[in-house]
């Protein structure tokens, strides 16, 4: 008897498989990242093909398989795909969010509830067009890194905790640093940029929405650099695990930071 389970999920990726089937990568609420086969979805009369597109939030029933699970039933919870795909800025931001989520949750079926909630919330916010797409993307990136264990500090010193705000920002130290901890080569972003990053991390949207375009650009650059710093280190550690582990065929994804930076640039507001 195959084991059946039910979960909520965001569709991260959908790939063709043969003539009529599709392989979908899902970020589920309770089972982490799941890859599953959806049979017959590409037939015209398929009852769930359109529900298994990227950006959709679904309620899904799956049969557990040895390598891949199989989709049995799908219902739509949040049809974000259309609203997101109808606007280029939203689409680009959402695509970068899905790619980041896929890479930050790449251990199959390791529960990632906070990552799921962040992604589902970010896609819903984008689909409702409540904030500028670039801000939603950067808020998502900062928070997903924080959930992954790399919470940056934008106010107090990331090394000694001395109360901020501080002018210097160091990727290696994890954010803002006081004059005594500041390593050579630290960045010195505008104070309003650090304030904006702090607002994005804590969800202070009135303050973030009121920020100037040039502060948003500077903030995006710091977020991309921070993402690259941490994810590249993570990928290196995963490669080591792969060599020592028993799954030699595991594919270690690398995050495409250049693509994220392009996405940030494309959705950033024009300079005044
Ligand atoms: Zn310090």
What residues does each domain of the chain span? Answer: 4-78, 132-267
- The reported pLDDT for the residue numbered 229 is 82
- 229 Cα: distance to centroid of ligand 1 (angstroms): 20
Mean pLDDT over 105-114 rounds to 84
Residue 11 has pLDDT above 70, yes or no: yes
Angle at 90 between CA 47 and CA 14, to 5 degrees: 35
- 158 Cα: distance to centroid of ligand 1 (angstroms): 7
- 138 Cα: distance to centroid of ligand 1 (angstroms): 25
Residues 6+ apart with CB under 8 A from 63: 2, 3, 4, 69, 70, 72
Q: Which fold has domain 4-78?
A: OB fold (Dihydrolipoamide Acetyltransferase, E2P) (2.40.50)
Residue 2 has pLDDT above 80, yes or no: no
CA distance 247 to 245: 6
| Strand extents, DSSP E, the chain | 4-17, 21-28, 33-38, 57-63, 69-78, 168-170, 175-177
Pairing, β 69-78 against β 33-38: parallel
What are the structure tokens assigned to 63, written together? 């049969």
Taking only the tens place, the pLDDT of each residue in 36-86 is: 999 877 665 566 777 889 999 999 999 998 889 999 999 999 989 888 988
- The reported pLDDT for the residue numbered 265 is 66
- 54 Cα: distance to centroid of ligand 1 (angstroms): 43
Residue 114 has pLDDT above 50, yes or no: yes
Q: Which of 148, 120, 9 is nearest to 69 (CA)?
A: 9
Residue 126 has pLDDT above 90, yes or no: yes
Mean pLDDT over 80-101 rounds to 90
pTM above 0.85, yes or no: no
- 185 Cα: distance to centroid of ligand 1 (angstroms): 15
Residues present in the chain in total: 272
- 25 Cα: distance to centroid of ligand 1 (angstroms): 42
- 177 Cα: distance to centroid of ligand 1 (angstroms): 5
What are the structure tokens assigned to 87, written together? 């606007």
- 157 Cα: distance to centroid of ligand 1 (angstroms): 5
CA distance 269 to 114: 29
- 163 Cα: distance to centroid of ligand 1 (angstroms): 9
């Amino acid at each position: 008897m195959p084991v059946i389970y039910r979960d909520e999920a965001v569709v991260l990726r959908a790939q063709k498989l043969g003539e009529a089937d599709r392989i979908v990568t899902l970020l589920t609420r309770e089972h982490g990242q799941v890859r599953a086969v959806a049979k017959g979805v590409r037939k015209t009369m398929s009852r769930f093909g359109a529900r298994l597109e990227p950006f959709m939030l679904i309620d899904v029933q799956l049969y557990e398989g040895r390598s891949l699970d199989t989709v049995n039933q799908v219902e739509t919870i949040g049809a974000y795909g259309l609203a997101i795909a109808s606007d280029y800025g939203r689409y680009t931001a959402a695509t970068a969010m899905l790619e980041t989520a896929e890479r930050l949750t790449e251990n199959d079926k390791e529960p990632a509830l906070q990552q799921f909630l962040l992604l589902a919330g970010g896609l819903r916010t984008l689909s409702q067009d409540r904030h500028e797409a670039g801000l939603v993307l950067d808020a998502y990136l900062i928070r997903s890194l924080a959930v992954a264990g790399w919470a940056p500090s934008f106010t107090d010193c990331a090394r000694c905790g001395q109360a901020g705000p501080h002018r210097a920002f160091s990727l290696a130290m994890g954010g803002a640093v006081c004059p005594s901890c500041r390593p050579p080569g630290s960045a010195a972003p505008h104070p309003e940029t650090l304030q904006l990053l702090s607002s994005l991390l804590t969800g202070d949207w009135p303050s973030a929405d009121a920020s100037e375009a040039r502060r948003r650009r500077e903030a995006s650059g710091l977020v991309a650099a921070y993402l690259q710093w941490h994810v590249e280190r993570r990928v290196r550690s995963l490669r080591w695990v792969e060599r020592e582990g028993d799954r030699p065929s595991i594919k270690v994804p690398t995050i495409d930071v250049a693509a994220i930076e392009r996405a940030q640039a494309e959705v950033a507001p024009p300079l005044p």
